[in-house]
A and B are shown apart, each in its own frame.
Chain A
């Protein structure tokens, strides 16, 4: 008990730099190592084209993982990511709006969908106190059904402006999707300065203490789910830009990949630690891993096997680090 108290006080004192510390640094080193292997196997890896396609591939998952992080930091789980990505993807494919204003219009439509689904999740979990895995699972199934109702088979076309401009390279060196990710990281760093961010970490670390120190836990939790829903919607938007077509089951692979990205990005599933930056790099690492496996000649049948093993290893590694830190602070 004393070890736990000591650890959580230490954590609270370090709130500001913690998101950039341990987890995120570890995963960045792993990413660079993997990239080195990739570049050795695939000499074209360092070309602007190859880097842009890598970033384009990673962006949807990175945005989804950023959203999931918000919920996981305040000790919740959210499986609705698959539902939101599928619904926004089919909406983009069934109702393409041309031109930059059309793109902005569809972005707002997607955000409205994601925010609404997040609101339902948050209400079920925070206000009705339903168990988060089961209730977001229910919401996810409903959303998948809605996606099938909107578009019953893969098809449709995403607006050309979205699928060309958002996957393009600015001035010959800057991938647009990379800029969007940097924007999210910037927003996250600003968000960390807000009371809401502190409240989310506080609830994840110890809900009772958070409530006793005057945080309205229900509202904060609700907002975390809404924020997650908005980011899933962005993920669906960027996925549509990348695939340029609609698929009612587009979101399904996102469930496992999102949790894997969050886990290897250094965010603990018991809440109160980690952050969005680690998750984004985690997502990028998973997508890079697929390319590395492909370039080293592993059959694509076994991609899932590697993803699953990495997810488990990441959590075990994380648990070992926490246990070590606890032992050190107790000593």
Chain B
């Protein structure tokens, strides 16, 4: 036991040193990701003349907006040391409920907020299981995902009907002075998400819980409540993403959320957050989401079959994990902080 203590001490000093300039390193790494996106988009001109222009940037940002919103919630859950595997079903739920309510009941203004609140309640259940009842987070959220999906299946009898809420059609399709509203929205969302995570007491508490539960508890943070709130935010974001998707695609399908579950985790990991929690910034996640979307638009243009696309997606997750292990982000920050 003494041996373990001796080994543990220098490690602790080491991690204190990291903590000294967390913002700089992470922000620099995020800039590196954005730079990589720009290089990829410009380079895509060589693959197809249709790519590489402002249109390509616009499409990429609009497509990335779904991933950015769902990855914000996923990022908060990962930040507190959890994992939310129910986001796919929550996206489907948000889409299915909003189209059905708007389409068949001619519902009033209360319909959309009600859907969001319902998603939040299910997220709270996730939080109760993972935070209060000590069920492993990924089991709890996986079970919730299956339950919610099964509920959607039964509720729609297998074929969702209805029409998209006009508010979200406007959000995803309209333009202001030639700029899509979706891009303005996602820029504001990124700024808001970043400030919540970095500039509020709530955000600080999330970091505290993620990096050391026991220490956070002793410091007076209500660990369980904070954990639960992260799951609530995640479910709300996923439900909102579902509404954005139906606004974009004019209708819900039961499988609409599936293609966002793994990318939401990948965006957070690629963006430099630790999968173990306690470390990461939302700007990095936004960069990760845009990078993944850029890659997928380019791979799509290459005409690679679905199978190889999936192989590449999996490889990206593994490579991101390996690079994080090699402390790539510290290496990057060291390069940038050199005088």
Residues of chain A whose beta carbon lies under 8 Å from any beta carbon of chain B: 77, 124, 128-131, 133-135, 137-150, 152, 208, 212, 248, 255-256, 259-260, 263, 269, 299, 301-305, 307-309, 311-312, 315-316, 319
> How far apart are the CA atoms of A52 and B109 in the complex, in Å?
56
Contact of B317 among A134, A150, A208, A307 (CB under 8 A): A134
Comparing B112-120, B145-153, B244-252, B283-291, the segment that makes contact with chain A is B145-153
Q: Indicate if the CB atoms of A145 and B309 lie closer than 8 Å.
A: yes
Contact of A128 among B276, B310, B313, B325 (CB under 8 A): B325
Q: Indicate if the CB atoms of B151 and A305 lie closer than 8 Å.
A: yes
Contact of A312 among B129, B269, B276 (CB under 8 A): B129
Min CB gap A268→B, angstroms = 10
Q: Indicate if the CB atoms of B146 and A256 lie closer than 8 Å.
A: yes
- Count chain B residues whose beta carbon lies closer than 8 angstroms to a beta carbon of A: 45
> How far apart are the CA atoms of A131 and B318 in the complex, in Å?
11
Question: Across the interface, which residues of B come within 8 angstroms of A311, CB to CB?
Answer: 139, 142-143, 146
> How far apart are the CA atoms of A135 and B276 in the complex, in Å?
12
Interface of chain B residues 122 through 164 with chain A (CB within 8 A): 129, 133-136, 138-140, 142-147, 149-151, 153-154, 157-158
Q: Indicate if the CB atoms of A312 and B143 lie closer than 8 Å.
A: yes
> How far apart are the CA atoms of A147 and B308 in the complex, in Å?
10
Interface bits B260-291 vs A (CB < 8 Å: 1, else 0): 00100100010000011000000000000000
Contact of A307 among B134, B146, B306 (CB under 8 A): B146
> How far apart are the CA atoms of A65 and B158 in the complex, in Å?
29
Q: Known: A130-B325, A141-B317, A301-B157. Contact between A309 and B308, CB under 8 A?
A: no
The contact sample of 25 A-B pairs, CB cut-off 8 A, is A124-B318, A129-B325, A130-B322, A131-B276, A131-B321, A133-B275, A134-B269, A134-B275, A145-B310, A145-B311, A146-B311, A149-B311, A150-B307, A212-B3, A255-B142, A256-B143, A256-B146, A299-B154, A301-B150, A301-B158, A305-B150, A311-B142, A311-B146, A315-B135, A315-B139
**Residue from A131, A134, A152, A307 with most neighbouring chain B CB atoms (10 Å):** A134
> How far apart are the CA atoms of A212 and B5 in the complex, in Å?
13
> How far apart are the CA atoms of A141 and B316 in the complex, in Å?
10
Q: Which chain B residue has the least Cβ–Cβ distance from A148?
A: B307
What are the 7 closest A-B residue pairs judged by CB atoms, nearest first?
A: A145-B310, A141-B314, A304-B150, A148-B307, A145-B311, A142-B314, A149-B307
Question: Across the interface, which residues of B come within 8 angstroms of A149, CB to CB?
Answer: 305, 307-308, 311
Contact of A144 among B134, B310, B317, B325 (CB under 8 A): B310
Q: Determine whether B11 belongs to the interface, using a CB cutoff of 8 Å to chain A.
A: no
Q: Known: A138-B321, A256-B143. Contact between A145 and B308, CB under 8 A?
A: yes
Question: Across the interface, which residues of A come within 8 angstroms of B265, CB to CB?
Answer: 134, 137
Contact of B306 among A139, A152, A308, A312 (CB under 8 A): A152
Question: Across the interface, which residues of B come within 8 angstroms of A142, CB to CB?
Answer: 310-311, 314-315, 318
Q: Indicate if the CB atoms of A152 and B307 lie closer than 8 Å.
A: yes
Q: Determine whether B36 belongs to the interface, using a CB cutoff of 8 Å to chain A.
A: no
Q: Determine whether B83 belongs to the interface, using a CB cutoff of 8 Å to chain A.
A: yes
Interface bits B294-335 vs A (CB < 8 Å: 1, else 0): 000000000001111111111101100110010000000000
Residues of chain B whose beta carbon lies under 8 Å from any beta carbon of chain A: 3-4, 83, 129, 133-136, 138-140, 142-147, 149-151, 153-154, 157-158, 262, 265, 269, 275-276, 305-315, 317-318, 321-322, 325
Q: Known: A134-B321, A316-B135, A319-B134. Contact between A308 and B310, CB under 8 A?
A: no
> How far apart are the CA atoms of A149 and B307 in the complex, in Å?
5
Q: Indicate if the CB atoms of B275 and A148 lie closer than 8 Å.
A: no
Min CB gap B72→A, angstroms = 19
Q: Known: A130-B325, A316-B133. Contact between A141 and B313, CB under 8 A?
A: yes
Question: Across the interface, which residues of B come within 8 angstroms of A124, CB to CB?
Answer: 318, 321
Q: Indicate if the CB atoms of A308 and B153 lie closer than 8 Å.
A: no
Question: Across the interface, which residues of B come within 8 angstroms of A315, CB to CB?
Answer: 135-136, 139
**Residue from A133, A304, A305 with most neighbouring chain B CB atoms (10 Å):** A304
Question: Across the interface, which residues of B come within 8 angstroms of A144, CB to CB?
Answer: 310, 314
Q: Indicate if the CB atoms of A305 and B310 lie closer than 8 Å.
A: no
> How far apart are the CA atoms of A171 and B276 in the complex, in Å?
54
> How far apart are the CA atoms of A61 and B233 in the complex, in Å?
35
Question: Across the interface, which residues of B come within 8 angstroms of A269, CB to CB?
Answer: 136, 139
Question: Across the interface, which residues of A come within 8 angstroms of B322, CB to CB?
Answer: 128, 130
Contact of B147 among A130, A133, A148, A309 (CB under 8 A): A309
Q: Indicate if the CB atoms of A319 and B133 lie closer than 8 Å.
A: yes
Excluding A124-B321, A131-B276, 13 further A-B contacts by CB distance (< 8 Å) are A135-B321, A137-B265, A144-B314, A148-B307, A149-B307, A152-B305, A212-B3, A301-B157, A301-B158, A305-B154, A308-B145, A312-B143, A319-B133
> How far apart are the CA atoms of A149 and B314 in the complex, in Å?
14
Question: Across the interface, which residues of A come within 8 angstroms of B308, CB to CB?
Answer: 145, 149
Q: Which chain B residue has the least Cβ–Cβ distance from A141?
A: B314
Question: Across the interface, which residues of A come within 8 angstroms of B143, CB to CB?
Answer: 256, 260, 307-309, 311-312
Min CB gap B279→A, angstroms = 13
Min CB gap A314→B, angstroms = 10
Question: Across the interface, which residues of A come within 8 angstroms of B145, CB to CB?
Answer: 308
Q: Which chain B residue has the least Cβ–Cβ distance from A311?
A: B143
Q: Which chain A residue has the least Cβ–Cβ distance from B86?
A: A308
Q: Indicate if the CB atoms of B147 and A308 lie closer than 8 Å.
A: yes
**Residue from B144, B146, B157, B308 with most neighbouring chain A CB atoms (10 Å):** B146
Min CB gap A83→B, angstroms = 9
Question: Across the interface, which residues of A come within 8 angstroms of B134, CB to CB?
Answer: 319
**Residue from A135, A145, A263, A311 with most neighbouring chain B CB atoms (10 Å):** A145
Question: Across the interface, which residues of B come within 8 angstroms of A305, CB to CB?
Answer: 146-147, 150-151, 154
